[in-house]
Amino acid sequence: MRATAVCVACVALRSAAAFHPHAGSALSEPPQPVRESRLSVSQLSEQRAAPGVTIKYFSSLRDDSNAGDEQLPGTVRQMRRKVGSDDVNWEHGRWLDGFWKTADDGEIPWSAWDAFNKTHDRSKHGVYCQYDCATRCGFTWDDAAAKVGPPCQKDKDCRPRPPGSAAAGWPHSQNYSCYTDLPDYKRGLMGECFSKDTRAKSDAYCAVVCGASPAACDLTSCTCTLSAAWDLTTKIERHDDSTPPERMPNKSWALVEQTRRDYQSTVSGLPACRWRPGSGCSNVTVYECFDGPSAGRCSAHNWMYNPACLRSCVHVSTLNPAPYYALWVDGPEERRPQRGERQPRYTHADDRMTPERRGIKLRAADVLMSRMCKSVANRFVGVTLYSSAFENKARRLVRSCELVGICCKATNLPPGAFGPGAPEGSAEFRFQAIAMKPSFLLSEMEANELPVVFLDCDLEFHRFPDLFMPGRSPHPPPLTPPPPPPSPSS
């Protein structure tokens, strides 16, 4: 797909039909000129508020729970405090004795809470609970915790196993049992529900209202998705099984020789050190040199291209594993722009819209490219920018692309690309290079006439990235068969 234009600012317009505030329908008046829709005073005020500002919303109704506000001409029905620089980062709560205490979203009606609590009653251990109960069925505790399995009280309540579980990879010897003390994700029959616009309704509102029952779900304000947590046969991720440093064997000649062979057979990257980290080796200084003048020393920097070391390895045992998540669950999609909202929220500078307007002539720049780019069968191209200080890393990236069969193109960014006020190595040079990425990507899409993937120049490939190929998305759109040809008329 080839991009041919860039949207600079988008403004949505509303209908111009006149409407009388006391009438039940639009008046039959001549059409008025189209006007831009505006945000409410509340929305504009919340947008302008700085972090730490509290906004109180008053009501003419009386509420016994707000006894402390009786001196005010109206009851405080809702209080919101801004907790971030973004206009959507607000939390609900109250100021009590000088301290802010978060509270439930005041927009959630009590009837929704009542219905939600009945279907998520975790104190009954599965007697009345329907969703996200404290006891659920699963192949393991992690499996039961990650998924929306059926509620249970005993193992016999989990029979039979979910259909298709054996084909999905769960062995027949794996019991499907009842587990307790499970987390509550506030999920319901509709799935994981989020607000379409958190300035209007909060995510908590959608989780409660839609989690209570499908009939009560406010689909005008909320959107719900069913993730892999609803597929009871999905395989979960394994826990990290790396050996901790204290259980690694002591360094020996045999282990060094084996690591030396690993180094020779590792086409791209570094092998793991097979012995216990010594003095000076940590989860920061993970690179140990085991051949050359610096043998036995650990460093925070890769020994590659360093003449003091011929071969090195990585102490993988010192690295902290990533947090464990049994299932990958997609988050909510970015909300759509509101009426009257300008996108994007910054002002463009015409002299920076393209690399050429910046005075950077990409056609005159040096390029590193894998030989795979000579093929006409490429479905995408990996592109990157590099400065002279990163040339060795860019070369390593392009070599790894060639080894696994990817077309990669690295373009050199001259040291003085952004003028004397932003020399190479300065923070301003880095910021300008980052800001230039969108225009660089557009120019590469137009120049190569292929989809592009931006690559950091300090990475390298160990295998072909199937995910970048067309139709290889984890959640591809369903394929619709072509309609049958029309039958000949009789």
Give 181-227 pLDDT, tens digit per residue.
888 777 777 888 888 877 677 777 888 888 877 888 888 888 888 88
- Residue in the structure block whose two tokens are 């730490």: 52
In eight-state DSSP terms, residue 36 is B
How far apart are the C-alpha atoms of 315 and 276, rounded to whole Å?
8
The helix (H) or strand (E) run that includes residue 368 is strand 367-369
Q: Is 344 helix (H, G, I), strand (E, B) or coil?
A: coil
> How many other C-beta atoms can be found within 10 angstroms of the C-beta atom of residue 193?
25
Q: Is 216 helix (H, G, I), strand (E, B) or coil?
A: helix
Q: Which of 381, 316, 354 is nearest to 439 (CA)?
A: 354
For the chain, first and last CA: distance in Å? 42
Which two tokens mark 67?
């006894």
Contact 314, 274 (CB under 8 A): no
Amino acid code (one letter) for 418: F
- Residue in the structure block whose two tokens are 């329908």: 25
Give the contacts of 369 (CB within 8 A, at least 6 positions apart): 398, 407, 408, 409, 410
Amino acid code (one letter) for 114: D
Q: 433-486: per-residue pLDDT in tens?
A: 998 999 899 988 888 888 899 999 888 898 888 888 877 665 555 545 555 555
Contact 178, 207 (CB under 8 A): no
Q: Is 44 helix (H, G, I), strand (E, B) or coil?
A: helix
Bond from prior residue into 160 cis (ω within 30 degrees of 0): yes
How far apart are the C-alpha atoms of 352 and 407, rounded to whole Å?
28
Amino acid code (one letter) for 323: P
Torsion of CA 128, 134, 135, 137, to 10 degrees: 100
The helix (H) or strand (E) run that includes residue 92 is strand 90-96
Amino acid code (one letter) for 140: T
Give the contacts of 257 (CB within 8 A, at least 6 positions apart): none
How far apart are the C-alpha atoms of 271 and 220, rounded to whole Å?
54
Amino acid code (one letter) for 351: D
| Pairing outcome for strands 298-299 and 452-454 | unpaired
Torsion of CA 471, 473, 475, 480, to 10 degrees: -10
Beta bridge partners of 81: 54, 91
Give the contacts of 207 (CB within 8 A, at least 6 positions apart): 186, 193, 194
How far apart are the C-alpha atoms of 78 and 64, rounded to whole Å?
14
pLDDT in tens, the chain (490 residues): 333 333 333 323 233 333 333 333 333 334 444 333 344 454 555 565 667 665 555 433 333 344 444 343 334 445 556 656 655 556 666 666 666 666 655 567 777 777 777 777 666 554 557 766 788 899 999 999 988 888 888 899 998 999 999 888 899 899 999 998 888 777 777 888 888 877 677 777 888 888 877 888 888 888 888 888 888 998 898 888 888 999 999 999 999 999 999 999 887 789 999 999 998 999 999 999 999 999 999 999 999 889 999 999 999 999 988 888 888 776 666 666 667 766 666 677 788 888 888 888 877 788 888 888 888 888 888 999 999 888 888 888 888 888 888 888 888 898 888 888 889 889 999 999 998 999 899 988 888 888 899 999 888 898 888 888 877 665 555 545 555 555 555 4
